[in-house]
Structure 1
Amino acid sequence: MLNIADTLYRWCREARPFALATVIRVSGSAPLPPGTALAVDTHGEAVGSISGGCVEGAVYELCRQVLESGEPPVRAAFGYSDDDAFAVGLTCGGELEVLVQRIDPADQPHLTTALEQVPAGVPVSVAQVIDGPQRFLGRTLSVFGGGSAYDGTLGSRRVDRATASQARALLRAGRTARVEVGGDADTCPEKLTLLVHTQAAPPRMLIFGAVDFAAALSQAGRLLGYRVTVCDARPVFATAERFPHADEVVVGWPHRYLESAEVDARTAICVLTHDAKFDIPLLRMALDLPVGYIGAMGSRRTHEHRRERLREAGVPEEHLARLRSPIGLDLGAHTPEETAISITAEIIAHTRNGTGLPLSRVSGPIHGSVPAAQVSSTAPLLAA
């Protein structure tokens, strides 16, 4: 639902009831991930998409039905129709399941507060019951303040505490995911399945080396939703004017900057300096951090020399195995812009467990599953 938070917040402020259709399960080549939503208000206005167009009409009518009748939340599944490709179904060959529920803003004031946070970029999670006893279905609980507080209820204080704990963990990791609570005497005898919608701070891309390749890469990184930092020890090159797409430009020794930088499992570190006096202390530190991607520019000869220097500096082989060098996929890139695409393509493939091969040469779903620990709901990487 956070993909349409700005409109939902406006409807909540106007106390306008609406029907919310949320993707709660996908399989095969379904085009949009769980958590994506479509909503319809009392005037028939629709916002969002749950399939890229394949089943929008059927879901819209289901939303109107639930909204007008006031009936409890309903679940509906859609898949490809072999008999009639124009029938309601996913012509891409995948399957998806949606939960459709009526939302009355007055009944869930915490949801208005949560939706308000999204356009401002404030971290927030909303846990939504998508499976379990009918009386729980569709209930929500919101976690605010980086996880320090929560509001709303799923039915009992113990279930709320357990849910808030799960939502905090997902908020720290920047994940939208399904979780289960209950099913035991300590929380609730009935098991509930929740979809935790998360807006976390954008993942970081740290680019070291104020070179032309960095200018193109900072633009590509920003397009993918990263908060981009360019760092270089040379003040004549590390200027905001040279890197207008970077969120910040830092003048300083790379390893000293990295020493105090906030990083996590979604962080991408790109070393473009190919200068040993910068690279070795920087990579020695980077390879010991729990970041998602580490790549370094340079020729194969430079790479082998760099690996020897890092071994001499005490970097173990299992850490060296994390280094992507020469950086990027083999796209035949030459220009800085082409090289930036090569690098970001490798980051996407690494993050999504992709092969990097042409889709025409691989089998299976086009939209593969996403490693749970590496995805931001507000910064989805582009994938085929």
Structure 2
Amino acid sequence: MLDIAGELNRWAEEGRDFAVATVVSVGGSAPRGPGAALAVDSGGTAIGSVSGGCVEGAVYDLCVQALQDGRTVLERFGYSDEDAFAVGLTCGGVIEVLVTPVRADAPERPVYAAALAAASRGEAAAVARVVRGPAELLGRVLLVRPDSSSGSSGASDSSGASGPSRSSTPYAGGPGVSHEGSLGGRPELDRTAVAEARALLAAGRTGTLELSEDGARCPGVVTLLVESSVPPPRMIVFGAVDFATALVRVGRFLGYHVTVCDARPVFATRVRFPDADEIVVDWPHRYLRRTVTDDRTVLCVLTHDAKFDVPLLEVALRMPVAFVGAMGSRRTHEDRERRLREVGLGERELARLRSPIGLDLGARTPEETALSIAAEIVAAREGGTGAPLTGSRTPIHRDGGGRGTGAAGAREAA
């Protein structure tokens, strides 16, 4: 549900009734994972997707029915060998979908509205919903935020930027905010659900968990779907060159909060990079030392100049970020490695450097080069090989490693 939070938040603010169908679990080669959602408003407008097209029509009808009768239902869709034209996933997978009406008269609507507002602002939040259990608990919802003491890790330092930041301060749960809503007025169940949901939120994960009705952390009769919305991951592009212009656009399309950093104010301008979230005029290594990064952060070094590259990579390759890549010819790469060894980097650190950056697509233009860089970033994040799927036996869909659902996931999955 949080993957379409922006549009759903607008619907909620306009007072529209709507029903939302959310993928709870998947099996086999189902095209979309837990948290993917399709929503239908009272006028019949639909947004989102739960299956990439296989069962959208049937899920749409379930949403319309939920709006009429106000009932939450859990439905299973799978491929039918007996009838190839039955409503099911033609790819051979299986999905379970929770369909929940969010009508003006629903007691849970304020909780949904608060969750959608938080996710659409780019704040960290998790929604826990009962997908299996006693009938009176089905569809009950909790909104969970980080502890207020968690601060604002992940926020970027925009000092020196020539343009405003697009995203709100991440992880802003608000002082004293713990959770909103209840899973049926059972304090022990609520307490355990909040703790488990906050743990999933801290990891940026969406998934299910089982609890007993008394809140015990053991398999029981209550199954919760916890959807996490986390702030967008960062992409920092060093070097305000023409290739960077294209990479910024691709980074935004993939859901990153994109910063361009260059020490040369004549090149690092809003006119040249209208799509960047931030533009920073500073020496790259100095900016990287003072800005906030995490294990989802992607660093792309396009400066192609040793006086910038070497001090920057000396810092970058010692940081626990997701990806460090640098542009240049093979000769440039060899010279760069030699210089980095001279400043004290070892083989383990150098092995993290992806250089020359990008997959071998035969790219020549800035746009093609940006595509090759983005392809390598996605492959590194998801454990892909970069090889053609034609003729291969590798899985088409993999379990993502640490990618959260929500504002960022929405843009990435679009």
Please name the residue that 1:152 is paired with. Answer: 181
Cα distance in 2, alignment partners of residues 154 and 122 from structure 1: 23
Q: CA separation in 1, counterparts of 2:198 and 2:322?
A: 20
C-alpha distance in structure 2 between counterparts of 1:242 and 1:12, whole Å: 37
Check if 1:38 corresponds to 2:38: yes
Shift of 1:99: 1.6
Tell me what 1:229 maps to: 259
Query: In the alignment, is residue 209 of structure 1 matched against residue 235 of structure 2?
Result: no
Q: d(CA) in 2 for partners of 1:267 and 1:249?
A: 17
Q: Which one-letter code corresponds to 2:84 in the other structure? A: A
Cα offset, 1:20, TM superposition: 3.0
Residues 67 and 212 (structure 1), Cα distance of their counterparts in 2 relative to 1, 3 Å cut: closer
Counterpart contact for 1:20–1:37, Cα < 8 Å: yes
Q: Distance in 1 between matches of 2:86 and 2:298?
A: 43
Partner of 1:35, secondary structure, is coil
Q: Residue 125 of structure 2 contacts residue 229 of structure 2 at CA under 8 Å; is this kept in 1?
A: yes
Q: Does 1:111 align with 2:112?
A: yes
Alignment match, 2:248: 218
Alignment of 1:312-323 (within 5 A): 312-323=342-353
Q: Is 1:55 matched with 2:85?
A: no
Residue in 1 that maps onto 2:79:
80
Q: How many residues align?
A: 381
- Deviation track 1:19-44 (CA, whole Å, cap 9, x = no partner) reads 43211112333222211222345555
Of the two structures, which has the highest relative contact order with CA contacts closer than 8 Å and spacing of 6 or more? 2
Show CA shifts across 1:186-217 (max 9, x none): 74674643322232221111011111111111
Q: Are the equivalent residues in 2 in contact too, given 1:209–1:271 (CA < 8 A)?
A: yes
Distance 1:8 1:217 in 2: 29
1:183/1:281 Cα in 2 relative to 1: closer, same or farther (>3 Å)?
farther
Q: Which amino acid aligns with 1:379?
A: A
Distance, in Å, in 2 between the alignment partners of 1:266 and 1:358 is 26
What is the Cα deviation at residue 340 of structure 1?
0.5
User: What is the SS of the residue equivalent to 1:303?
Assistant: helix
The answer to whether the Cα contact below 8 Å between 1:238 and 1:249 also exists between their aligned partners in 2 is: yes
After TM superposition, the structure 1 = structure 2 runs for residues 1-384 of structure 1, keeping only pairs within 5 Å, are 1-6=1-6, 8-9=8-9, 12=12, 18-41=18-41, 45-71=45-71, 73-105=72-104, 106-108=106-108, 109-144=110-145, 146-147=172-173, 149=177, 150-155=179-184, 156-173=186-203, 175-180=204-209, 182-183=211-212, 187=216, 190=220, 192-371=222-401, 373-380=402-409
d(CA) in 2 for partners of 1:378, 1:137: 26
SS in 1 for 2:127: strand
**What amino acid does structure 1 have at the position aligned with 2:172?**
G
Kept after mapping to 1: 8 A contact 2:191/2:215:
no
CA contact (8 A) 2:4 2:406 kept: no
Shift of 1:220: 1.1
Single out whichever of 225-234 and 100-109 deviates more from structure 2: 100-109
Between 53-62 and 183-192, report the one with greater CA deviation: 183-192
Corresponding letter in the other structure for 2:79:
Y
> In the superposition, relative to structure 1, how do residues 312 and 337 fare at CA in structure 2: closer, same or farther (>3 Å)?
same
Q: What TM-score does the superposition give when structure 2 sets the normalisation length? A: 0.82
Larger mean Cα displacement after TM superposition, 125-134 or 40-49: 40-49
Amino acid at match of 2:209: E
AA matched with 2:180: D
Instruction: Report how far residue 317 of structure 1 moved.
Output: 2.5
Once the 2 structures are TM-superposed, how far is the Cα of residue 332 of structure 1 from its aligned partner? 0.8
Q: Which runs of 5+ in 2 are unaligned?
A: 146-170
Q: Distance in 1 between matches of 2:379 and 2:385?
A: 6
Q: Deviations over 1:83-116 (max 9, x none)?
A: 4433211123322111223444541122222222
Of 299-308 and 264-273, deviating more is 299-308
Displacement of 1:335 after TM fit?
Answer: 1.5
Alpha carbons of 1:184 and 1:9: their partners in 2 closer, same or farther (altered >3 Å)? closer
C-alpha separation in 1, matches of 2:20 and 2:279: 41
Distance 1:102 1:240, change over 3 A: closer
Structure 1 stretch 336-345 or stretch 44-53: which is displaced more?
44-53
Per the TM alignment, residue 290 of structure 1 is displaced from its structure 2 partner at its CA by 1.9
1:313-344 per-residue CA deviation (whole Å, 9 max, x = no partner) reads 23232222221111000111111111111000
Preserved CA contact (<8 Å) 2:123 2:173: no
Query: Residues 268-302 of structure 1: CA distance to partner in whole angstroms, max 9, x if unpaired?
Result: 10011122222222112112222111111112222
Q: Counterpart of 1:304 in 2: which secondary structure? A: helix
Conserved in 2, the CA contact under 8 Å of 1:269 and 1:294? yes
Structure 1: gaps spanning 5 or more residues: none
Q: Which moved more, 1:313-322 or 1:265-274?
A: 313-322
SS in structure 2 of the partner of residue 225 of structure 1: coil
184-193 or 142-151, which deviates more: 184-193
Q: Secondary structure at the match of 2:393?
A: coil
Does the aligned pair in 2 maintain the 1:62–1:100 contact within 8 Å?
yes
| 2:344 counterpart letter in structure 1 | G
Q: Deviations over 1:202-253 (max 9, x none)?
A: 1111011111111111111111121111111122222221212211111111
Instruction: Please report how far the alpha carbon of residue 2 of structure 1 lies from its aligned counterpart in structure 2 after TM superposition.
Output: 2.0
Moved more, 243-252 or 305-314: 305-314
* CA 1:56–1:376: 2 relative to 1, 3 Å: closer
Q: Please report the RMSD computed on the Cα atoms of aligned residues, expressed in angstroms.
A: 2.8
SS in 2 for 1:360: coil
**Contact 2:210–2:222 at 8 Å: present in 1 too?**
yes
* C-alpha spacing 1:87/1:334, structure 2 compared with 1 (3 Å): same
> In the TM superposition, what is the alpha-carbon distance from 1:79 to its structure 2 partner?
1.8
